[in-house]
Amino acid sequence: MSTTTTYTIEGRTGPWELVIGLEVHAQVISRAKLFSGAATAFGAGPNTQVSFIDAGFPGMLPVINRECVAQAVRTGLGLKAQINLWSRFDRKNYFYADLPQGYQISQYAHPIVGRGAVEIELADGTTKIIGITRLHLEQDAGKSLHDQHPAKSFIDLNRSGVALMEIVSEPDMRSPEEAGAYLAKLRQIMRYLGTCDGNMDEGSLRADVNVSVRRPGEGYRTRCEVKNVNSIRFVMQAVEAEARRQIEVWEEGGEVEQETRLFDTVRGATRSMRSKEEAHDYRYFPDPDLPPLVLDAAWVEELRAGLPELPDARRARYIRDFGLSPYDAQVLTAEKETALYYETVAKGRDPKLAANWVMGDLFAALNRTKRTIEDPPVRAEHLGALLDLMRDGTLSGKLAKEVFEAMVESGKSPGAIVEERGLRQVTDTGAIERAVEAVLAANADKVAEYRAGKEKLFGFFVGQVMKAMQGKGNPALVNEALKRRLA
């Protein structure tokens, strides 16, 4: 499927198309850094996770961390990308106080992962393929702290040397929505893979957003790069704001200059950070301390075989095997934890009923209690047991809702709540017959009306019998008894 209408922004002089490409920095999940054994835990005290290598001491030699390489390969495989068995590390030279080496070790000419593809889903139900240009491994820098002292800046090197994956896309996106959907999909894939936690608040995932505009049908025009955007919503806002700015420049008869810009989230506008003339000359050259990175094809295949089921495959399976709608399948596979919860509930049970309970009652309970699917107020096993009690006739649908609320409050199993509250559904036909008889006797006038053709009174009788039985009558049996008596 492809989008039939291209998104445009209407300028004073006609419509403009957007062209967007993202460079995403994703922090690798790994206990140790890319070239040192120092720890990587988030939130540790300043400079408590720094080795001599991370501090840029002279004479220190970097040693590649095998797990970081495996994570990059897994991510490449998840992006259906080419894995380069031969890649190389280069020095990217620049000076910054929080980069004690004076250069960043990165992969410039020979990245570990080459071309790939990501499929995104859009709100109108269409899908689109976004090309991946490359993925390379590099070191993160430290952090300057300017708010600790009135006259001094402090440096925290905990992040220095942490492994990053830079994932570069083709300029294939054409709207803010597509840019947002792409970043969300990348994050989802990496979370499923366990290669990046995707936590944008903690800076584990951040995007440089390249934007240009053009007249429909034209080739590409000059782009600007908006640096370090740290939420999906801000990416979408930055695209829109930057596109509108460029449209105005072109329409005023000016020319968009290639430059690096920053997105001011308060003003909702981008501003210049540095122009092309001020761009760094990184003087890349192969790092003489590191041999080329050569991967064993069999090892790559081993990693491929160990990949978990990814979101697209899981979604397709839910539609195929469980008969769920594409929308339900999408919602239930959005997060791996939601999918695992759902599968526990659905196992051996009606998958659609399970989907309704998870997406309806459980999601509502999560919202209400401000809990997450990792720490839910109702365990998946308990929700499954509730569905069993409905299937075997112990609980009617109405009673099940009541039991569910009690489960949310107490965390107890449905069986325990049914016993405690005496909620067990009445399936004793004698008791049901008696209740039906009483209701019909008390409403002789309505019975006459019903028999004269006013059939919608049937619901009234059901309601009265249920009320008489405190909601515990088995609905199917109540219906049956009423039909028989009224015939």
Residues in the site for ligand ADP, rule: CB under 6 A? Answer: 19-23, 168-171, 210-212, 220, 223
Q: Which residue is nearest to ligand ADP (CB)?
A: 21
For ligand ADP, the closer CB: 76 or 376: 76
For ligand ADP, the closer CB: 227 or 446: 227
For ligand ADP, the closer CB: 101 or 210: 210
For ligand ADP, the closer CB: 91 or 223: 223
- The least distance separating ligand ADP from the CB of residue 221, rounded to whole angstroms, comes to 6
For ligand ADP, the closer CB: 182 or 322: 182
- The least distance separating ligand ADP from the CB of residue 246, rounded to whole angstroms, comes to 10
HEC-encoded secondary structure of the chain: CCCCCCCEEEECCEEEEEEEEEEEEEECCCCECCCCCCECCCCCCCCCCCCCCCCCCCCCCCCCCHHHHHHHHHHHHHCCCCECCEECCEEEECCCCCCCCCEEEECCCCCCECCEEEEEECCCCCEEEEEEEEEEEEECCCEEECCCCCCCCEEECCCCCCEEEEEEECCCECCHHHHHHHHHHHHHHHHHHCCCCCCCCCCCEEEEEEEEEECCCCCCCCCEEEEEECCHHHHHHHHHHHHHHHHHHHHCCCCCCCEEEEEECCCCEEEEEEECCCCCCCCCEECCCCCCEECCHHHHHHHHHCCCCCHHHHHHHHHHHHCCCHHHHHHHHCCHHHHHHHHHHHCCCCHHHHHHHHHHHHHHHHHHHCCCCCCCCCCHHHHHHHHHHHHCCCCCHHHHHHHHHHHHHHCCCHHHHHHHHCCCCECCHHHHHHHHHHHHHHCHHHHHHHHCCCHHHHHHHHHHHHHHCCCCECHHHHHHHHHHHHC
- The least distance separating ligand ADP from the CB of residue 108, rounded to whole angstroms, comes to 9
For ligand ADP, the closer CB: 50 or 211: 211
- The least distance separating ligand ADP from the CB of residue 375, rounded to whole angstroms, comes to 37
For ligand ADP, the closer CB: 116 or 384: 116
- The least distance separating ligand ADP from the CB of residue 343, rounded to whole angstroms, comes to 36
- The least distance separating ligand ADP from the CB of residue 51, rounded to whole angstroms, comes to 30
For ligand ADP, the closer CB: 19 or 157: 19
